Amino acid sequence: MDIRSQISMVFHLDKCIGCHTCSIACKNIWTDRKGAEYMWWNNVETKPGTGYPTKWEDQNIYKGGWEKQSGGGIELKGAGHRKSLVNIFHNPHMPVIDDYYEPFTYKYLDLIESPAMDIQPTARPVSMITGEPIDIKMGPNWDDDLSGTPDFARKDPNFKNMTTAEAEAMFQLEKMALYYLPR
């Protein structure tokens, strides 16, 4: 394949209302093939929160960011000649499927083909990996718009260097206004 063009976009953070139109459009266009069900190349997150994949901003877990060298320069934490050679076929610091979510769909035929009953039929969630019924534990944007428990916000890696009082002030601010981070 000889690709001679590139598409890029810029998010205007002041205008993001957290509607996920950009996320859904990107998902439908770029990650609609088998094996890419858990991928969201574009995502909008509410801050504070753990993000997607879980704790993706934690530089100690995923070895992202930069390190100061003894000579005064900087180097990527997860890269370098030795690190790249050792991890050429496997990166041990990548998120696993549990850090994303188990992709799922619903048994829609249960809604369409159910017999007449006194109760409304339901569509159970089914894993897109195994095909078995699952209990949904999390997904992308699980804690958005205050829908998650306060525990999600408290696990935000950006609060690591804050005092308890500063973190509590941020949580009170979150109850008044939502901050969206499209990425």
What's the pLDDT band for 150 if we cut at 50, 70, 90? low
Q: Does residue 70 register a pLDDT over 80?
A: yes
Question: Averaged over 134-163, what is the pLDDT?
Answer: 76
The label of the residue with tokens 């696990």 reads 155
Q: Are 160 and 149 in contact (CB under 8 A)?
A: no
Spell out the domain ranges in the chain. Answer: 7-56+141-183, 59-94, 102-136
Amino acid 72: pLDDT: 86
Give the number of other Cβ atoms within 10 Å of residue 49's Cβ: 25
Q: Are 110 and 124 in contact (CB under 8 A)?
A: yes
Amino acid 1: pLDDT: 59
Q: Does residue 44 register a pLDDT over 80?
A: yes
What's the pLDDT band for 125 if we cut at 50, 70, 90? very high
Question: Averaged over 74-98, what is the pLDDT?
Answer: 80
Q: Are 43 and 31 in contact (CB under 8 A)?
A: no
Q: What is the DSSP annotation of the chain?
A: ------------GGG--S--HHHHHHHHHHS-STT-TT--SS-EEEESS-TTTTTTT-HHHH--SEEE-TTS-EEETT-SHHHHHHTSS--TTSPPHHHH---EEE-THHHHSPPP-SS-----EEETTT-SB------TTTTGGG-S-HHHHHT-GGGTTS-HHHHHHHHHHHHH--EEEE-
Q: Specify the long-range contacts of residues 145-150, CB closer than 8 Å, at least 24 apart.
A: 145/18, 145/46, 145/178, 146/46, 146/174, 146/175, 146/178, 148/49
Question: Averaged over 147-154, what is the pLDDT?
Answer: 67
Amino acid 176: pLDDT: 66
What's the pLDDT band for 134 if we cut at 50, 70, 90? very high
Question: Averaged over 51-56, what is the pLDDT?
Answer: 81
Amino acid 126: pLDDT: 93
Amino acid 133: pLDDT: 94
Q: Are 159 and 57 in contact (CB under 8 A)?
A: no
Amino acid 15: pLDDT: 81
pLDDT tens digits for range 9-22: 777 777 888 888 88
Question: Within its chain, how far is the Cα of 93 from the centroid?
Answer: 16
Question: Averaged over 129-156, what is the pLDDT?
Answer: 77
